[in-house]
Amino acid sequence: MSGNAPVLAGKNLTRRFSRRASFGRTETFTAVDDVSLELHSGETLALVGESGSGKSTTARMLAQLITPSDGTVELGGRQYAGRRLGEFRRQVQVVFQDPFSSLNPRHRVEQIISAPMRYLDLPKPAGGWTARVKELMERVGLNPDHSQRFPSQFSGGQAQRIGIARAIAVEPSVVICDEAVSALDVSVQARVLELLRELQQQDHYSYLFITHDLAVVREIAHRIAVMSQGKIVETGDRQQIFTNPQQEYTRTLLAAVPQIKYQRAAAAGQAAPETGRT
């Protein structure tokens, strides 16, 4: 993974699903249609578009959680399948939207954060799992003394920090954030975005950020890919997309961005600790 080669690339990804049509028939429709995307080392690429445009399906194909109907996924220029999928899973981690439904409510935080390290057969750290989990909890701004608590004992923002700790535990090169801050209150959201930025500066993660929220995109993205009806309609760096969008669809999306959202969040963030579940 050197030079300008992408860390993660989707090439001509297509995904068809069948759905029920009228008169009890089923029909095939194309949710993602010939999408190619490249994610480079240390960058944050935001994939944006309205609901149903195919963002999550694209992300799931890129994470190899679902199989493309056509097209390929390459990590560092290579395809990973079969037994080598384990290495892909270590390198490409996903943080999902709803922290509570993506964390097992019956497991303690230590078990949750250490799970990928165990599943992927990583060598036991010199200081043991507990010490490694506590170190990860500190990195994401959680109190390491809470490692024996259950997810329900945390706020929404804290629970998403647990999900982030679990993702970075295996030292991935790519973290796919699928609407990772969408369920959070706006001031909590701003602080989780700040954490993600800090982690990227320290460890050079490449983020693919799936979101319908352009205020979030403006905060975090280096580059933006705009999706509509299963296709990428425009790609550019953040500045270009926000100041000089080329496509009508992008202009319409941008027109809906609440301008003051993050000014409010910044003010609220100083006053409000992450207490309630959001």
Ligand X SMILES: Nc1ncnc2c1ncn2[C@@H]1O[C@H](COP(=O)(O)OP(=O)(O)OP(=O)(O)O)[C@@H](O)[C@H]1O
Restricted to residues 44-63, the positions that interact with ligand X (CB under 6 A) are 49, 51-57
Write the CB contacts of 59 (distance below 8 Å, at least 6 apart in sequence). Answer: 47, 94, 176, 178, 208, 210
Give least dist CB 51 to ligand X, A. 3
Q: Of 98 and 203, which CB lies nearer to ligand X in the complex structure?
A: 98
Write the CB contacts of 121 (distance below 8 Å, at least 6 apart in sequence). Answer: 86
Phi, psi (deg, nearest 5) at residue 199: -65, -40
Q: Of 133 and 176, which CB lies nearer to ligand X in the complex structure?
A: 176
Instruction: Give the residue, chosen from 212, 218, 223, 261, that forms a contact with ligand X under the rule CB under 6 A.
Output: 212
Q: Of 2 and 51, which CB lies nearer to ligand X in the complex structure?
A: 51
Angle, helices 156-168/109-119, rounded to nearest 10 degrees: 20
Length of the chain: 278
Tell me the residue type at 93.
Q
Tell me the residue type at 187.
S
Give least dist CB 44 to ligand X, A. 18
Closest CA to 208 of 178, 246, 165, 250: 178
Q: Of 158 and 211, which CB lies nearer to ligand X in the complex structure?
A: 211
Restricted to residues 58-87, the positions that interact with ligand X (CB under 6 A) are none
Q: Of 132 and 212, which CB lies nearer to ligand X in the complex structure?
A: 212
Give least dist CB 185 to ligand X, A. 19
* Cβ count near 212 (within 10 Å): 18
Give least dist CB 159 to ligand X, A. 20
Restricted to residues 220-259, the positions that interact with ligand X (CB under 6 A) are none
Give contact residues for ligand X (rule: CB under 6 A). Answer: 17, 19, 31, 49, 51-57, 212
